[in-house]
Structure 1
Amino acid sequence: MSLVLTTASVPDGDKVAYWNDAVSRTLVPMKVTPRGDGPFEGRIATDRLGYLQVSTLEADAGRVSRTPDLIAGSSEALVAVGVQTSGTATFVQDGRRAEVSEGDLVVYDTTRPYSFDYPQRFSTHVFQLPRRALGMPDSDIRQVTGNAIGTGDGFGAMLLPFLATLASSPADGYPPAVANRLAGNVVDLFATLIAERAHPGGTEADAPSHLVLRIHDHINRNLGDPDLSPERIARAHRISVRYLHRLFEGEGTTVGQLIRQRRLEECGRELARRGSAAPTVSAVAQRWGFVNPAHFSRAFRAAYGVTPREWRNLRTTHEHLGSLQALSAGDRV
């Protein structure tokens, strides 16, 4: 059920203070300064869709600002996407100034100062989500903030009607599982929008590919860590687990499968080595991150068709026969 806060029944002398508190509690702490001298009127309706918060604001002309002091008192890092549905605004963040018209989108980061100036009564939809859920590099987000994104064509044209419908639909009409999945789809759309704007000309593919190479290198360097997991990898690269999995959609494998595959390859290589001081099968498994010997044996057999011990015996026998054949050929020369 939507939470609706309005100044309609608040005494005129208390409306501005009430509105400041309502906006700060519903969105993030902000300062609202009205432009006119008369009674201030505002209304905000908010719903939650999983971890996505969807709000609609209608208010009189004024300035909304998020200052360093207000940011210092906030605990969660959020990214917001605003959709101007009526009126205009001047938006400032990260040293850039944008004139926002009806139908435009703006992206902003609540961990850095910003301001909106509304010269007349306005309405806007605001979509807020945890920045970690977005899974985008901070450098990409910074390139998009402080700009107005038109929705007359391109990806914005497809995104605008979807967001407008989402903002006008009651969130409590969706079962929790559907709401969470829908929120995830919205986050993917926002990530696509940011990537499109941060890497124009098709170069957005370059950033993910470089990141995938770094992740492959990270996996190879940490195969022996039994705690190596998608969660650890995502944390090390400051991205979300969701974005990590999305990066590997074009790799033909999952992150977990890649870790297991690389571990098995290293185990197979080491087990094939000859020598009187060759390590035991369990020692090889532990060295490459397998904690449970039975699990390692099953995984190895599934990958290579034989047990680790059979693999070692086959490889050793093959090399031994090869050596004997070479010696025999030498004797005949």
Structure 2
Amino acid sequence: MQRLSTYDVPARDRLSYLHDFVARHVAGLRFKPADSDTFAFDLAAYFLDERTTVGTACYSAVLGQRPKDLLAVDGRQDYLMTIHTADYEVAMEGKSPLVIKAGDITLVNEGEAMAFALPATLLKVVSLDEARLAAIAPRVRMHALHHIPAEAAGASLLTGYADLLRAASPETDTGRRLAGSHLYDLAALVIQGAGADAAEQVRPSLGAARLELVKTDILRHLADPEFGVADVARRHGVTPRYIQRLFGQEGLTFSEFLRDARLDAAYNALGSAGSRAATVSAIAFDAGFGDLSHFNRVFRQRFGATPRDIRAATLRRCQ
């Protein structure tokens, strides 16, 4: 992960550092702040491979462009996929500006001159290798700019998976390679129109990406004892049976994953010095267990010790 913020460099050098960071990690662009005195930015970039980057950028109001002279120098041809939190305008050379709504996806080829006007915004960006993307989504070469509404089929899965990679990036080369493949497949699904044929071609990546998003959703709702497979299915717009099939691919059931995640949360809390004042029952309930005897039983089966054993060991360490 690479980061750059306004406060990392002297004011006189901010634009040059910004141009260098963006050019090295994402795209060749030039920026002109709406107000140089108050201009601020905060950038982060994570690399799945040398041609694929996921990141975020927070800007105060700014104009940007990819002019012809810059194209001639760097020769970039890859695609930039962006999602903004505010409406903004983008214009390809010789065409009228297009208003992009917050949450929509744009896919822009760096081989074409363009300009954009951003209000204060947070944007999520993915840099995609043009040749790799075109090999599975040939339709991408039909246009230099693709505008994909947030409600388009497959769009929420693509953006959700990209968000997941930003929040929990794979730490191994194998993980990064698999995550990159899933990301390209999901982008291809959206570009090709998310029809049955396109979905069939990328089915393994669809399932893997969906399962990771489902797991993340479950982890956010562990404390709710009523949270179940029907809630997850409804939130993701699929059936409970589909959710169960996703877990089945890993030799698990939804209930087993939920139980183990709650047990892990409880174990971590019991072993934390910061929760010494909490009772075992309070920790169990906070982890989403509604039945204390059931919690004690499955905890011992999982960890080979009782919750009180873990709590006692924690207290001894803290003395």
TM score, norm. by length of structure 2: 0.55
Q: Give the whole-Å Cα distance in 1 for the aligned partners of 2:105 and 2:53.
A: 16
Distance 1:194 1:72, change over 3 A: same
CA displacement at 1:183 relative to structure 2: 0.3
CA displacement at 1:53 relative to structure 2: 0.8
1:123-272 matches, within 5 Å, as: 123-136=122-135, 140-169=139-168, 171=169, 173-196=170-193
Distance 1:114 1:42, change over 3 A: same
Q: Give the whole-Å Cα distance in 1 for the aligned partners of 2:187 and 2:63.
A: 26
Q: Does 1:20 align with 2:23?
A: no
CA displacement at 1:37 relative to structure 2: 4.3
SS in 2 for 1:32: strand
CA displacement at 1:107 relative to structure 2: 0.4
**Corresponding position of 1:113:** 113
**Corresponding position of 1:72:** 72
Q: Give the whole-Å Cα distance in 1 for the aligned partners of 2:108 and 2:26.
A: 13
SS in 1 for 2:23: helix
Q: Does 1:36 align with 2:35?
A: yes
Q: Contact 1:98 / 1:147 at 8 angstroms: preserved in 2?
A: no
Q: Give the whole-Å Cα distance in 2 for the aligned partners of 1:98 and 1:148.
A: 9
CA displacement at 1:203 relative to structure 2: 11
Q: Give the whole-Å Cα distance in 2 for the aligned partners of 1:9 and 1:157.
A: 34
CA displacement at 1:140 relative to structure 2: 2.5
SS in 2 for 1:108: strand
Structure 2 counterpart of 1:178, one-letter code: G
SS in 2 for 1:178: helix
Query: Which string of whole-angstrom CA distances, capped at 9 and with x for unpartnered residues, describes residues 149-189 of structure 1?
Result: 222352213322222222222x3x43211211210111111
Q: Contact 1:136 / 1:191 at 8 angstroms: preserved in 2?
A: no
Could you tell me which runs of 5 or more consecutive residues in structure 1 were left unpaired when the two chains were aligned.
209-333
Q: Contact 2:64 / 2:116 at 8 angstroms: preserved in 1?
A: yes
Distance 1:153 1:133, change over 3 A: closer
CA displacement at 1:60 relative to structure 2: 1.0
CA displacement at 1:47 relative to structure 2: 0.7
Could you tell me which runs of 5 or more consecutive residues in structure 2 were left unpaired when the two chains were aligned.
202-319
Q: Give the whole-Å Cα distance in 2 for the aligned partners of 1:64 and 1:3.
A: 22
Q: Give the whole-Å Cα distance in 1 for the aligned partners of 2:178 and 2:47.
A: 13
CA displacement at 1:63 relative to structure 2: 1.0
SS in 2 for 1:107: strand
Q: Give the whole-Å Cα distance in 2 for the aligned partners of 1:101 and 1:188.
A: 24
Matched length: 197
Structure 1 counterpart of 2:130, one-letter code: R
Query: Which string of whole-angstrom CA distances, capped at 9 and with x for unpartnered residues, describes residues 241-263 of structure 1?
Result: xxxxxxxxxxxxxxxxxxxxxxx
Query: Which string of whole-angstrom CA distances, capped at 9 and with x for unpartnered residues, describes residues 80-119 of structure 1?
Result: 21121x222111226363212221110011111122211x
Q: Give the whole-Å Cα distance in 2 for the aligned partners of 1:46 and 1:175.
A: 17
Distance 1:37 1:77, change over 3 A: closer
Distance 1:163 1:144, change over 3 A: farther
Structure 2 counterpart of 1:125, one-letter code: K
SS in 1 for 2:20: helix
Q: Give the whole-Å Cα distance in 2 for the aligned partners of 1:190 and 1:75.
A: 23
SS in 2 for 1:191: helix
Q: Give the whole-Å Cα distance in 2 for the aligned partners of 1:161 and 1:138.
A: 20
Q: Contact 1:79 / 1:107 at 8 angstroms: preserved in 2?
A: yes
TM score, norm. by length of structure 1: 0.53
Q: Contact 1:96 / 1:147 at 8 angstroms: preserved in 2?
A: no
CA RMSD of aligned residues (A): 2.7
Q: Contact 2:134 / 2:141 at 8 angstroms: preserved in 1?
A: no
CA displacement at 1:144 relative to structure 2: 5.0
**Corresponding position of 2:56:** 56
Larger radius of gyration between Structure 1 and Structure 2: 1
Distance 1:21 1:30, change over 3 A: same
CA displacement at 1:13 relative to structure 2: 3.0
Q: Contact 1:91 / 1:116 at 8 angstroms: preserved in 2?
A: yes
Q: Contact 1:92 / 1:115 at 8 angstroms: preserved in 2?
A: yes
